[in-house]
Structure 1
Amino acid sequence: MQVLTVSQLNEQIKSLLESHFLEVYVEGEVSRPTYHTSGHLYFSLKDEKSVIRCVMFRSDLRSVPFRVEEGQKLILKGRIGIYTPRGEYQLYAKELHPAGAGSLQIAFEQLKKKLEAKGYFAKQRPIPDFVKTIAIVTSATGAALQDMLRIIDKRWPLVKVYIVNSLVQGKEAAQDLAHSIEIADSLGADVMIVGRGGGSIEDLWCFNEEIVAEAIYKAKTPVVSAVGHEIDYVISDFVADLRAPTPSAAIERILPDKEEILLYLDTLMDRMHKRMQSIVGLKEQELRHIQQSMAQLSPHRRLELYRQQILNLSQGFSQALRISIQTKEQEIPRLLQALHNSLAMQLQAKTNELILLQQKMEMAYRAKELPKGSAQVVKNGKPVMLSDLKIGDEVQLQDLHYRVGVKVESKDVL
């Protein structure tokens, strides 16, 4: 009986498996993927019943355009190998392909999601309304550049164009394209166009690289992404400030049409002509108004007004004087009559006062003749007898020193 060591057994198993499973294709679901600091990828593939450990070395991993994530369904091309120190067998992957969507599409969606989370799609710089300089980053030998230059010459030949030659296809294109974007950004142009003509997804893939997206994001110049045809979408379309469906459309969107500008200028000239006519008409009216005002406010006009005012005042004064004299002449008889009436009234008043004084003297004289302690009866300023009084009469009892008002309440005959 041959007795083997553990190492010998593992080596025999290793030789047997590796010789029979030099190339296998295995489909399964990714579990616990780990990107090691060494650059290698460690993961497992599983189905409903089994699981197998896998490893993909850094040199082979470079060809995988997407990132391996938990739950992805992949088709692995590789070989079976044994790790003899632990007696464990595993799959050594050479190629990885998505079991459903294409690998490039998965890589596109992964990068798009990553950049959106970093805010690369939120930065939008305004495109100037009137572009004076354009920096075009594309292949100097491509048909897309000739199309853009032809449309520039047709629409707005006054614009200054900088052409920054760049690779737009191939493995080295992404690095070269990012460097060209940095150069174009340093030229101080009003806007930058980054693009190329149509092609397959592989041909356009450099515009889906993160290094290109980062260069567009960091650029200070507003960027227009013009890649492929209208149906083609690349990462640069989302990071750029404006997406144009084609390179030709990019020129049409940022440059005005000289024919439209000329028509617009004709319209402005017509409006300006009409406006100038209106302004001149208004100014003529203002001038006539000023002339009339100056004529009315001129020194000769003012002297004439003052002369007329003096004449009017003189005539008014003369007329007022005549009226005053006539009025005074007419007022003399009236004044004499009023004076006569006033003197007559004063004379009558003095006469009445004299009569009153005479009555008072007479009453005082009579009161003096009354016995001491008696008084005489006075009604309406005249002494009366008691027999002349009536019930309700108001009279005064008067002596030399006092006068008392009384009212007759009753009258009896003694």
Structure 2
Amino acid sequence: MNQAISVSTLNNQIKSLLETTFIGVYVQGEISNLTYHSSGHIYFSIKDENSTISCVMFRGNAQYLKFKLEVGMKIIISGSITAYIPRGNYQLMCTKIDPDGQGSLALAFEQLKEKLQKEGLFDLSIKKTLPKYPKNIALVTSPTGAAIEDMKKVAQNRWPLINLILIPTLVQGEGSKFDIVNSIKKADSLNYDVIIVGRGGGSIEDLWAFNEEVVARAIYEARTPIISAVGHEVDFLISDFVADVRAATPSNAMEIALPDKNEHLQYLDNLQVEFENRFKRVLYNKEQVLLNYRKYFEQHSLDKKFSFIQKEIDYLKSNFSNTLSQILRQKQNELNYLKNAYESNHPDKKIKDGYVQISKNNQVISLENVHVNEEIILESSKLKVRCNILDIKNI
């Protein structure tokens, strides 16, 4: 049975899917519901005969608009799909807007884009993956432009271990498309990890070399992963669609290509802390094991056993001594009792003047059991007298 998820989780998943799938969309439509917000953002919708989609152009991109939007105007939008999680709505986030029916360059751009797309040059399935830790990067750009300096600065701050090689290239004007093609082929022959092809911003005419079919095919045929970094964030060129990765600017290309040393330093710090904590836990656990073994050993050691036996012996000795003393005291008391009884029953103590013991035939009898003419023995502790009964009278 599937586990239920929250609405927020579902909206987040939809947002992630939309923003990673519809990264570079190109949409044509008619403007409606137009609002210029005081923040500088522009909110509107575009529609055709059957559908409507909400759009937004944020101030950062809106400031580059060369014309004012009006309700009913037909336009062409470059942007990406995003979702607003609290309401569960999706919208088209615009990076560039052109009026529909623009001149020959725009038409040529669309025709070439459609042609190459049908041939499969834009397919995501053929995009090459960038290496996580590149060692060598070839830069196909102008040696005198600001782009090269920006990329070098970002590379030094982000990953100083990288080795950069510049392939000086003409990036605008007559013959620039052939020079770009030759530089791409030269860079590809070096077997470097990544190639960055690009230049700084400019007009559509300045950037047009990167919209040429020969440049697109050179990028497509290269074996080395290529990042297209042409112009500013709002600029979309044919090279962006053919390249393995599109960067908003040359500086952004270097950020995409290189890992961040600060993140890795923090990661190493976290690893060190985690290692130390685990090491301390291991030591503590081993220490507890040793202590338990020590206690067990002490409890079962010969000394412990001898000590236990000695205590039992001492207890037995003490118990024996106490028992013997009790027995001796008891026997002594018995002897004393017998002695006292003997002394108290000694004939010398019992015989008084005028009293003797009468016996006949060696048996003690009372005076009432004697008869006339019988021979009896009168006995004291000191004398024994034989007598004959002459007369008996009752008193």
Instruction: Look at both structures and tell me which one has the larger radius of gyration over its CA atoms.
Output: 1
Q: Could you tell me the TM-score, scaled by structure 2's length? A: 0.48
Q: Could you tell me the TM-score, scaled by structure 1's length? A: 0.46
